[in-house]
Amino acid sequence: MTAATKKLTFAEYLQYDDGSDTQYELVDGELIAMSLGTGKHGGISKFLERTFDDESAKIGRDWTAQKFSVGIRSPRKGRWDTSRVPDVVVLPTQQWEALSNREAVIELNEPPPILVVEVVSESTQTTDYRSKRSEYAVLEIPEYWIVDPSPLLSLSGYSK
C-alpha cells in the first residue's frame, strides 16, 4: 500500500511524520506502509530476537538483535532512495549504540549488519523473496534469512 503520491528524498523520509503510529519503508521514493503482521509473525520475530541475543552471549560475541527498529538504506534501479526495515537485524552492539543518538538507519558508508531476517507475510512474499534478497546481496550483508511460516515453516536465503 502506497501512503503518499509525491516521491520523497531519503532526507524527507527521515523527517516524515503523518501523525499516526504507522511505520513506513521508503521504496523508490514512495512511502510503503508496513502492515502490523499476525501474532504468529510477531511471535517468530520475538523468538528470533531473543534466541540471537542468547546465542551471541553464549558464544562470546558482542552482537545484538533488534526487532523492527533498524532501517537499512538500500539500492534499487541505481538509486538510493530506498530504506528497508527488516523484521530482525543482528549487528555489533557497538554499531547499535552508535545509532542511539540519530536515526537508526544503517547508511551506505557504514558496515552492513551481520544478519537480516524477514518473516514472510502473505502481502510481502514477492518483496521478501525477490526484491529484498537482491538489495541485501548488493549491500554485501553476509546472511539473509527468509522465514516463511506457511504452510509449513521454512527457511531460505543466503550466506556468504
Q: What is the pLDDT of residue 104?
A: 92
Residue 43 lies in a domain: yes
User: Per-residue confidence at 153, pLDDT binned at 50, 70, 90?
Assistant: low
Residue 20 lies in a domain: no
> Which residue range is the domain that position 56 belongs to?
37-70+85-159
Residue 10 lies in a domain: no
Residue 136 lies in a domain: yes
CB 41 within 8 A of CB 148: no
Q: What is the pLDDT of residue 78?
A: 62
Count of the separate structural domains present in the chain:
1
Residue-wise pLDDT tens digits, 57-113: 999 999 999 998 999 998 776 666 889 999 999 999 999 999 998 989 999 889 999
User: Mean of the pLDDT values across residues 5-28?
Assistant: 86
C-alpha triplet 94, 105, 13: angle, nearest 5°: 160
Residue 77 lies in a domain: no
Q: Any idea what the CATH number is for the domain that residue 97 is in? A: 3.90.1570.10
Residue-wise pLDDT tens digits, 24-42: 989 988 898 887 777 888 8
Q: What is the pLDDT of residue 1?
A: 47
In whole angstroms, give the CA distance from residue 155 to residue 51: 16
What's the mean pLDDT when you consider all of the chain? Answer: 87
Q: What is the pLDDT of residue 5?
A: 67
Cell numbers 552492513 label which residue? 112
Residue 79 lies in a domain: no
User: Mean of the pLDDT values across residues 127-149?
Assistant: 91
Residue 123 lies in a domain: yes
Helices of type H across the chain: 10-15, 39-58, 93-98, 125-126, 132-138
pTM greater than the 0.75 cutoff: yes
Residue 11 lies in a domain: no
